[in-house]
Structure 1
Amino acid sequence: MILVNNGSSDGTQAYFDSIPGASPVHLPQNVGPVNGFNVGMNAAQGKYIALISNDMILTSRWLPNLIACIESDPGIGFVSPGANYVSNFQQISLPFKTLEEMQVEAKAYNVSDPNKWEERIRLMPVILFSLTDRLREIGGYDPRFYFGEFGDDDISYRYRRAGYKLVYAGDTFIYHHGSVTTGIDQQQNNSLQVSRQIFYNKYGIDSWAEGLPNMQLVDAVRRQWSPRESVSILAINCCIGATPLAVKTFMKQQGARNVRLTSLSNQEKYLVDLRTISDRTFYFDTSEDFRQLLGGEQFDYILFEHGYSEFIRSFDGLNRYLLPSGHLLA
C-alpha cells in the first residue's frame, strides 16, 4: 500500500507513518491530484496498480473483480468500477442509508459478471486499475491537468490511441463521497472550464460535447433489437464513436458474437479515435466519395448522429445501403 501525503497539514503524515507495512510518500506541498497519482505510480512495484482517491470507500471483492476483468483480455488498458456518485453512465444505485448498510448491499452486488463489462470510449476512473508497466508506458497522468478534471479523459484517449481497450466493470460497486478532491478548486479556480480548455487545446475535441454517447439512439436500438449472431453497423458522423461503441457493446451483451462496425466521418479530426473502436474507418467529403467507399455494400444498422438534415439535402438516400430488414436511426 502506497500512501501519498499530498502536502497535508492535518495529521496525515503521522497517521500514514503509523500504518504497518505501508509505504508512505510525503510531499512538502500539494501538487494536485494527477501529480500525486504520478508520484504513487513511480513508487509502485506490483504487477497491477490501483489509483484510489481519498474520497473512496472500498467494498467487498472490489479487487478480485477488477483483476478478473482486466485478465480477461490482454488488450485491455485499464478498467474501472461503478459508484454511487460518478458521471459518464457509470453510476450504480444501491439501497442504503448508512455506510454499514452500503457494505452489505455492495457485498451482495459485487459478483463477477462478464456480461456487465462494457468497452468504453473513455472512463471516469473512480479507481484506475491497470498493469503498472502499462500505466508507465502511457506516461501516467498529464501534469497539465493540475486540478484533476479532464485528466481522466486525457488518459483514456492516450490508452486507446496506444491500442488498448477501456472497460467499465459494471459488476463492481464502490462508495464515492463525491468532489472532495476537486470541489474547492471548482469553486475557487473555475477548474472545470480551465481543464476543459486545456483538453480542447491538446486534442481539438470537446470531450463533453463530442465524447459522450447519444443515449436516444442507443435506446432506439435496444427497443427494436431482435437476437442474432452477426450484425453489421454503418456509423456516419458519430464524432469519436461513443454512440456506435455503446450500440456494439449492447449487441454483444445480447449474444451477438460478430458485430462489424464501419465508421464514416466528414471531419478528419475524428478519424484517429474512430480507428480505435471500428473495424473500418473512412473519411468522406462528397457524395461520390460516399458511393466509392461503400459501393453496393449493405448493413443491418445505419447510425447517423450529426448533420443528417444537411446530408440528405446533398447526398442520395441511405436506404440503398440497408439490408431488407435493416434499420436507419438518425
Structure 2
Amino acid sequence: MVKKSMEKLAIVTVDFNRHDDTFELLDSGRRLKTSGLDVRWFLVDNGSDEYVGKHITPELDNVELLQTGENKGFAGGYNFGIKYALNWGAEYILVINNDAILADEDLLIKLVWLLKRKKDIVAVSPKIYFAPGYEFHKDRYDKKNIGKVIWWAGSKFDWDNINLIHRGLDEVDDGKYNEIEESDFLSGCCFLIKRQGFEKSGFFNEKLFAYFEDDELMLRLKKAGFRLFYDGKTYIYHKVSRTSGIGSPQTDYLITRNRLYFGMKYASLRTKIALIKESARFLLAGRSAQRMGVRDFFLGRYGPPEKALAKPKVSYPVELSIVIINYKTSGLTLRLIESIYENSGLSNDDYEIVVLDNASEEELGERISKRFPKVKFIQNKVNVGFAKGVNNAIDFTRGRYILLLNSDIEVNKEAIKNILDTADKFEEQAVIAGKLILPDGTIQNSCYKIPTLLGAIREYLLGRKNDYSLFSPNADKAVRVEGSVMACLLIPRKILNMVGKLSEEYFMYYEDIEFCSRLKKVEVPLIYDSGALFKHQHGASSKVFGDNKSKELLKNSAKIYHGRIKYWFLTAILWLGQKMKRLS
C-alpha cells in the first residue's frame, strides 16, 4: 500500500524591527495541531536594522529564514515569503501578521477543513480578538472581558466611502459571531489560502507597499470566481498596528494614497467624483501626510513612503545562491553541480544551489536528491522559458548574491570564490560577469555594447570593431563593460530589488541584453572579472532546441527588443555589411 504524502501548509510571516512580537508568535505556534499536514514556517526579515536570524535558536528547526534585503512593505515582504513557500510545494498558505498570537490549537485543522468543503472556497479568516491591552477603548471593558473584545469577525466593504467595515469591532464577544459564513472581504492580518488563489489571481500589489493591498487581492480573488469565508469557530489575537503605529504619519500617508488608488480603480463614477472633491479638501486643509498622499497618487508615485527608504546593510541566511536552469541537459547539470562542490572554494554552509527543470526530465529531481541531497529542486509542469524559469528559481533563493550559471558551465577551482571576492570589493553595488573558457582553451567572446542602429553602422559599414558584436575585454583585471551574456552572472540581491528580475517577455535570447540595458539606464556597473574563470560548452544548453527553433526564438526576441521597424533596419545593415566584406 502506497503511503499518502501529507499536504504541505506554509505559515508565512514578515518581521520588520519587531523581533519580540515575532518570537511571541512563533512561541504561540508550538500549540498548533498539525495532524495530516506537513507544516513549515517561513519567516521573512523585511530589511530590519538587526537581522532577526541572529536570535533564532536551534529548537526553532521548523522555521526557514528569508531576507528581502530592504523594507518592501507588507505587500513585498509577504510576496517574497509566499513565492518561496509555493516553490517549496505548499498547497495552503497561512498569511499571518507577526504581531498576532495563536491561541486555538485546532486553528489549522479547522481552516483546512473549511477550504476542502468546496472548490470555489479559496480563502478563510478566523475570528480575530484584540490582544489583551491593545484594545482601542481600554477603559470601556470589565477586566473579565479583556481578551474577548472583537477586532474582526467578518467584513463588509463600504463602496461609498472606500472603507472596510469590521463586523463586531470593539464588541465583547457574546457568541453571535460563532458561525461559518461567507464574507465580503477577509482580514490581511490572518487568512489561509489555497495555492490556486495566487496562481490564478496573482499576489499582493507591491506598489501599494501597505494598506489596501489585502483588500485589492481579495477583490481580485472574487473577480476570478472564488469565494471568501469567515470561520467564527476558531480565533487568534492581534496586537493592532504594532508595525506602523496607529495614526502615525506613515499610516496616514499610505491610507490616503492607496485609498485613492483603490477607489479610482474599482469604485463607481459617483464615488470617484467624491474622492476627487475630498482630495481637493486635503490639498487645501489636510494634514501634511494627507497632502503628500494625494500629491503622490495624482503624480503616479507609489512604493514606500520616504521614511521607509533607508536601506541598512543587512545579513542573509546564506551568502550565495546559485541558480541553474535545466532543459534536457541533465548530464551537464549534474556535472555542473559536482564541479561546484569540488571547486567553489567556499564552505558548504555559505551557499545553496537551486535547480529548476523546465518540464523536461521527470527523473532529474530524484537523481539530484540521491547524489546531492542539499540541492533545492523545482520542476515546472510546462516549459516557461529561460527568463521566467530564472525568475521562478530566484524566488526560491535566500542569498545576498545570486549567481546565474548555464547548465553547460563547469566551475574551475576557486572561480566562485574569486567572483564573490570581486563583488565584495564593489560592496554589492555592481553586477559581476565571469570569464568564459571554451572547450579548446580559448576565451569566449561574451561581452558587448548595448546594441543600437548606430553601433551596427559603425561596425558593419564603417569597420569599427566591438561596437555591435561580441568581444572579450583585453584585460588582466576587472573592467567595466556595457553588457554580458548570462552564462555566468553574479547579481547582488540589492540590485535585483532596484532593477527587477528578468523580463518574461522573452522566452529565450535577448533577456540578457534587456537586463543589461536596465543596468546601464540606472548606472549600475557591470564588471567583467578576468580572474573568475568558468569552462563553457558554448551552445550545449541551447542546441536541444535544434537550429531552426533556435533561430526562430532568436528572431522573435530580437523583434520584441528592437521593435519591428528597427529590427528590419538592423537586418538590412548586417546584410549589407556582410556583402561589403565579401566584395572587399
TM-score range, shorter chain: 0.5 to 0.7
Residue 58 of structure 1, aligned match among 102, 107, 132: 102
Residue 201 of structure 1, aligned match among 264, 268, 274: 264
Give 2:93's aligned amino acid: I
Residue 9 of structure 1, aligned match among 27, 40, 49: 49
Note the 1:18-167 alignment, pairs <5 A. 18=58, 19-44=60-85, 45-59=89-103, 60-85=105-130, 86-87=151-152, 88-89=166-167, 91=169, 116-147=179-210, 149-167=211-229
SS at match of 1:179: coil
Partner of 2:231: 169
TM-score by length of 1: 0.52
Relative to structure 1, the CA distance from residue 49 to residue 90 in structure 2 (aligned partners, 3 Å threshold; closer, same or farther) is: farther
SS at match of 2:109: helix
Mark the structure with the bigger radius of gyration.
2
Contact 1:4–1:27 (CA<8 Å) still a contact in 2? yes
TM-score by length of 2: 0.31
Please report how far the alpha carbon of residue 91 of structure 1 lies from its aligned counterpart in structure 2 after TM superposition.
Answer: 4.9
SS at match of 1:144: helix
Q: Work out which structure has the larger RCO, using CA pairs closer than 8 Å and 6 or more positions apart in sequence.
A: 1
Give 2:226's aligned amino acid: Y
Note the alpha carbon deviations across 1:217-240, whole angstroms, 9 max, x for none. xxxxxxxxxxxxxxxxxxxxxxxx
Note the alpha carbon deviations across 1:140-177, whole angstroms, 9 max, x for none. 11112212x11121111101000000101111110000
Partner of 1:216: none
Measure the CA separation in 1 of the matches of 2:206 and 2:232: 29
Measure the CA separation in 2 of the matches of 1:8 and 1:157: 30
Please report how far the alpha carbon of residue 20 of structure 1 lies from its aligned counterpart in structure 2 after TM superposition.
Answer: 1.2
Contact 2:92–2:192 (CA<8 Å) still a contact in 1? yes
Relative to structure 1, the CA distance from residue 139 to residue 17 in structure 2 (aligned partners, 3 Å threshold; closer, same or farther) is: farther
Contact 1:122–1:156 (CA<8 Å) still a contact in 2? yes
Note the alpha carbon deviations across 1:262-281, whole angstroms, 9 max, x for none. xxxxxxxxxxxxxxxxxxxx
Please report how far the alpha carbon of residue 204 of structure 1 lies from its aligned counterpart in structure 2 after TM superposition.
Answer: 2.8
CA RMSD of aligned residues (A): 3.1
Partner of 1:187: 249
Relative to structure 1, the CA distance from residue 37 to residue 161 in structure 2 (aligned partners, 3 Å threshold; closer, same or farther) is: same
Give 2:180's aligned amino acid: W
Note the alpha carbon deviations across 1:272-323, whole angstroms, 9 max, x for none. xxxxxxxxxxxxxxxxxxxxxxxxxxxxxxxxxxxxxxxxxxxxxxxxxxxx
SS at match of 2:49: coil
Relative to structure 1, the CA distance from residue 90 to residue 50 in structure 2 (aligned partners, 3 Å threshold; closer, same or farther) is: farther
Q: Which runs of 5+ in 1 are unaligned?
A: 96-108, 210-330
Give 2:208's aligned amino acid: F
Give 1:6's aligned amino acid: N
Contact 1:17–1:24 (CA<8 Å) still a contact in 2? no
Amino-acid identity (%): 27
SS at match of 1:168: strand
Measure the CA separation in 2 of the matches of 1:185 and 1:199: 20
Relative to structure 1, the CA distance from residue 7 to residue 16 in structure 2 (aligned partners, 3 Å threshold; closer, same or farther) is: farther
Partner of 1:317: none
Note the 1:240-259 alignment, pairs <5 A. none
Measure the CA separation in 1 of the matches of 2:117 and 2:203: 23
Which stretch shifts more, 161-170 or 128-137?
Answer: 128-137
Measure the CA separation in 1 of the matches of 2:77 and 2:235: 24
Please report how far the alpha carbon of residue 117 of structure 1 lies from its aligned counterpart in structure 2 after TM superposition.
Answer: 1.1
Contact 2:91–2:194 (CA<8 Å) still a contact in 1? yes
Give 2:167's aligned amino acid: F
Please report how far the alpha carbon of residue 61 of structure 1 lies from its aligned counterpart in structure 2 after TM superposition.
Answer: 1.3
Relative to structure 1, the CA distance from residue 129 to residue 90 in structure 2 (aligned partners, 3 Å threshold; closer, same or farther) is: farther
Relative to structure 1, the CA distance from residue 4 to residue 17 in structure 2 (aligned partners, 3 Å threshold; closer, same or farther) is: farther
Measure the CA separation in 1 of the matches of 2:203 and 2:61: 27
SS at match of 1:74: coil
